[in-house]
Amino acid sequence: MTDQAQILPGTLDILILKAVSLGPLHGYGVLLRIGQISGQALLIEQGALYPALFRLVRQGLLKASWGTSENNRRAKFYELTAAGRKRLREQVEGWNRLATAMGSALAAQPEEV
């Protein structure tokens, strides 16, 4: 738990979109899923999650509906809209480009310059 990475600003939205893209989730579920898919490396502050969810709903990237959780508790479930799916694709591409660029930039050796 000690070497959890600080998430970069602006990455919360893409993580939420990714988490939800794997299947409808309630808020707490989103937290768990992000932890799970990042190998518990990324941890999100619980209070910061909800404003982000509301913002994504407002932008039309997520839609919400009330349902029942696995242990029979009423909860609000989020899923991707078509626009959300498109946005996720764009952001993943962007992120990959950035990561590759950062990776090769940081891997550069003195003799390659």
Sites of contact with another protein (CB under 8 A): 26-28, 45-47, 50-52, 54-55, 57-60, 69, 71, 73-76, 81-83
70 or 111: whose CB is closer to another protein? Answer: 70
Q: How far is the CB of 111 from another protein (least distance, A)?
A: 50
Instruction: Specify whether the CB–CB gap between 25 and 18 falls below 8 A.
Output: no
46 or 96: whose CB is closer to another protein? Answer: 46
Q: What are phi and psi of 81, to 5 degrees?
A: -95, 175
How far is the C-alpha of 74 from the C-alpha of 101, rounded, in Å? 44
Burial bucket for residue 112 (CB in 10 Å: 0-12, 13-18, 19+): exposed
How far is the C-alpha of 106 from the C-alpha of 31, rounded, in Å? 30
24 or 27: whose CB is closer to another protein? Answer: 27
What six digits make up the tokens of 91?
A: 């952001």
49 or 92: whose CB is closer to another protein? Answer: 49
Q: How far is the CB of 16 from another protein (least distance, A)?
A: 13
